[in-house]
Each structure stands twice: as structure tokens, then as C-alpha cells.
Amino acid sequence: MGGARPASAGVNLPDTWPGFADSLMRAKAHTGLDDSVTFRLVDESDARAVVVTGHFAFLGGSMGVAHGDTVLRALDTAAEHECAIVFVTSSGGARTQEGFDALIQMPRIIAAMRRVRQRGLPVISVFRHPTTGGVHASYGAAADVIVAEAGATVGFAGPRVLEAFTSVTVDPRRSHTAEAYFDHGLVDEVVPVGDGLAAALAWVRRLAPGSFTEASARRETTATDAVTTPDTTLTGWAAVERARAPMRPSARRVASFLLTDLRETRGDRTGIDDPVVLAGFGRFAGIPVTVIGTDREAAGPSGTVGAPHASGFRKAARVVRLAARLNLPVLSIVDTRGADATPGSDNAGLTAAVSELMQALLDCSTPTLCAVTGEGGSGGAVAFASTDVLVMQDDSIFEVIAPEGAAAILYRDAKRADAAAAQMELDAPSLHHRGFADAVTPGPTTAGVFPSLALLRAELRVQLGELLPLDAGALQDRRQDRYA
């Protein structure tokens, strides 16, 4: 293509297609705009962002050279002002009349987005009706968080064009709509028509820097008879039964208690969302954090309850990598008997996805913490626990294999699970004694659900306070020592 060739190459583009110049003039007269996209700086007290808005009324919101130039100026403005960028898209795609000059705007804009990403600034998209083609497949889909307005047509090719080319009828209940994209984890939130920008600015506020407030005391409780120290007698099969107690709160309930302004993201961006895996953002101790976790009560894509699917591990890894780019600590919440190893999950790349999450956590340039709030089952759980700090509730466990499985292997009798559990050192006191767990707090079966969550929150706050002063190099050195 010639690396030195400018995007427009000096060609008078309106003259290259019969009638195009007249179409441009009519579009300008009709809309009062110079082209199909504009941008402005929104500078509110609690939300600062460059907002780029596509205008479908101007030649179907199509992207040509002038459109690309405007988006590049918007990206430069966001980088200059050190603020988020919000893309509000509405487009049929690359402008036909400008040919390859229009098409090349896609990689041109993606290349320019590096200036924003390298500064650790969030990129948020809002898909309005319609969002298709080159705009969708470039800066629209490249966002960190994607909001879609209800009923919007969304897709790589618009339904009309797709049907004309392939003779395939598009069913809006299954594809090419905001709702279908949400079901497949391709957008993070669907909001009413007209609310997209407000929802995007709410994400800007959610990810804005804050001030960490360290607890003055390690314990948060006012009741004089409350349990404040962990039970060190919970070992073996008794610990297993406590860890599996039905009354234990799910990861989503735990996260809702620990964090304020919690909002989930969806999907691994390959077309599957695993509800078992919690992945999102909220505020902890005054600062924005990323949260991942396994929800004991949710059913995954294979129908298995509480077991993360391959797509769930990829979803978690996606937000951990985003946390590193946005300089956000990561909080992981573990409570699962293990990964979903059914054929559907295995064929979807389960083992690679487990490895991917461990790599993302160990490569993360920000502090990472894990709270074990129930059962930690084998490699599926340890992928979420490959962190700088591991805090366990005293009635939680972490096992290389479930005791029933260990008994079947060692004694050829799964009914001897209690005997296997007694030998496995899977309980929190044992793991703390051996140095695998950094701290143990009273759990829900020891202190009650809400007191235990308050104690866990206080411990995590102290642990995070000790990690925050460490830069990326110091964190990596610490991990090398921890996992050496």
C-alpha cells in the first residue's frame, strides 16, 4: 500500500463518483453539518470525556476520509486532556463513493487509538440504530465497554445488505440487534433509546480515579459478642461441609457488599457469555477496581451450575487485561467446585482459557487480590486465585481435587471422602499455616453472613493498602518470590 501514502493521496474525492459532490452538498444543507461525525469535550464535575457522535442523517453516517480525520482529532484531544473517549455510533459503514480511501480509515483509526490506550484512558462505545460496517468493526467494537440502545440494528453487515448478498433471512430475535448482541456477550449493557450517552458517562464516572481510604482498624464490628477471630479447628471433612453450606452468599452477593457502584460487563467477545463468571467494575475503599469471580448459584452455557465455562475464563482474562491498562487493582472472588469440563466447554478451549486467565493475572501491572468465600476446586479455581494476596474465610477450602475424587483415586471408593479430606490439608487454617493463604477471616458459618463480609472487607482493605504503593516492577518481583 505504500507506507508514506496519505489517506486521501491528494485526490479530489467528491469528483471520483458521479453525483457524489451534489449528495455531499445536499447532506450539508439538510443537516447543517460538514460531515457524518462530530466531537465535543464534555467537562462535568464528575465526568470528563471527549464525545464523538455519528450522524446517520448525513449520508447514512458513512465513514470517509473527512470522517476519519475528525475521529483522529477527537482521539488527539482525549489524549491531550487525559480523559476518556466516548464513541456514539450510528452508521452504515465505510462510504462507497470514496472506495479504498474510506476503507483504510478503519486501520488508520485503530492505529491512532493507541495514543489513548497507552495513556490508560477508557474507551467506551454507544451503539445507536443502526451501527454496522466499518464504523462498527473499527472503533465501535474496539471499545473497552460497549453500551447499546434498545432495538438498535447492530452487525458487521446490515441485514438488508446481508440478505441481498446471501439470500439468508435475518431473524432479529437471534442476530443483528442490540438485544441479540447482549445475549451473546458482545455488548455490556442495553439501555432505552436516548439513554446511551448518559449510560456511557456513568461508566466514565465509575472508572474515574479516587482516593484510597485505609481502615483505621482491621476489624469492623460494633457488637461486643461478635466473632472476630477465625475458627482454627475447622479442618478435614467438617471444613468441606461448611464450605459447601447452602446459606453461603454467592460471588455476586459478596461483590455487592464489598463494592459500591458495581456494574458487570459481559462476554468474552467471541459470542458467548458465561453467567457463572462475574466480571465487572466497582469502587472499593474509595477507588475503582476490577472484580472477577465464580458464582455458585449461576448456570453456565452448558447448563452446569457454579462451574466456569471456557468462555468465562476468557471473559475474566479480558477484564484483567483491561484493569492493567486502566491501572485498576483486581479483586477475585472464588467459590466453585471446579471448571466446567463438559465436552462443549472443553471443545471451546477450556485448558487454554484457564491458562490465559492465570497469565493475565500474573502479568497484571496492578495489585491483585483473591478472596476464597467457599470452595476452591482444583485448577478452575486456582486460575482465579493466581494473585498477589490470597485471603480465605475460615470455613472455606481449597483442594487439588474434590475429596470424593481423591477417595476414588486413592481408595477406589468415593464414599471414603471424609478420610481423604482428613489427609488433604485443604482447610483454611492448614493453608495459612503452610503459607499459601496470607490471611484468614471468620466466615458466614462462623460469624454470620453480614459480619463475616464486614470482616473480609476490612482485611482486603488492609491488604490492598499494603500493595498499592508498589509499582509494576515491585509487584512482579514479589510474584516471582511468591511463585518461585
Note whether residue 224 is domain-resident: no
User: In CATH, what number is assigned to the domain containing residue 131?
Assistant: 3.90.226.10
pLDDT at 5: 47
Backbone angles phi, psi at 409, to 5 degrees: -75, -50
Note whether residue 222 is domain-resident: no
Backbone angles phi, psi at 114, to 5 degrees: -60, -30
> Which of 286, 288, 407, 276 is CA-nearest to residue 333?
276
- What's the rounded Cα separation, in Å, for the pair 50 and 81? 9
Say whether both 273 and 400 belong to one domain: yes
> Domain count of the chain?
2
Note whether residue 6 is domain-resident: no
Say whether both 270 and 151 belong to one domain: no
Say whether both 193 and 243 belong to one domain: no
The secondary structure of residue 298, as a DSSP letter, is: -
Q: What is the chain's Cα-based Rg? A: 25
pLDDT at 163: 63
Q: 423 - beta bridge partners?
A: none
Calculate helix-pair angle for 65-81, 105-117, nearest 10 degrees. Answer: 0
Q: In the structure grid, which three cell numbers stand for residue 126, read together?
A: 454507544
Domain-terminating residue out of 153, 186, 206: 206
Say whether both 113 and 164 belong to one domain: yes
Say whether both 158 and 291 belong to one domain: no
The secondary structure of residue 177, as a DSSP letter, is: B
Note whether residue 227 is domain-resident: no
- What's the rounded Cα separation, in Å, for the pair 484 and 234? 29
Chain centroid, CA 324 distance in Å = 11
> Which of 145, 146, 147 is CA-nearest to residue 194?
147
Q: 290 - beta bridge partners?
A: 281, 330
- What's the rounded Cα separation, in Å, for the pair 419 and 421? 5
Note whether residue 423 is domain-resident: yes
Say whether both 240 and 184 belong to one domain: no
Say whether both 178 and 274 belong to one domain: no
Note whether residue 240 is domain-resident: yes
Calculate helix-pair angle for 449-467, 251-258, nearest 10 degrees. Answer: 60
Note whether residue 230 is domain-resident: no
Say whether both 181 and 286 belong to one domain: no
Say whether both 192 and 260 belong to one domain: no
Digit-by-digit pLDDT tens for the chain (484 residues) are 444 444 444 455 666 678 888 899 999 999 999 999 999 999 987 889 999 999 999 999 999 999 999 999 999 999 999 999 999 999 989 998 999 999 999 999 999 999 999 999 999 999 999 999 999 999 999 999 999 999 999 998 766 666 666 667 777 677 789 999 999 999 999 999 999 999 999 999 999 988 898 654 444 444 445 778 999 999 999 999 999 999 999 999 999 999 999 999 999 999 999 999 999 999 999 999 999 999 999 999 999 999 999 999 999 999 999 999 999 999 999 999 999 999 999 999 999 999 999 999 999 999 999 999 999 999 999 999 999 999 999 999 999 999 999 999 999 999 999 999 999 999 999 999 999 999 999 999 999 999 999 999 999 999 999 999 999 999 999 999 999 8
Say whether both 92 and 187 belong to one domain: yes
Say whether both 56 and 197 belong to one domain: yes
For residue 213, the SS3 value is coil
Domain-terminating residue out of 158, 185, 206: 206
Say whether both 159 and 280 belong to one domain: no
Q: Which domain holds residue 193?
A: 13-206
Backbone angles phi, psi at 8, to 5 degrees: -95, -15
pTM tops 0.75: yes
Residue type, 283: R
Note whether residue 4 is domain-resident: no
Cell match 472477577: residue?
292
Is residue 294 within 8 A of residue 381, CB to CB? The reply is yes
Cell match 493521496: residue?
9
Domain-terminating residue out of 206, 222, 251: 206
For residue 364, the SS3 value is coil
DSSP 404-438: HHHHHHHTS-GGGHHHHHHHH--BHHHHHHTTS-S
Distances (CA, A) of 9 to 64, 66, 69, 76, 93: 13, 13, 13, 22, 21
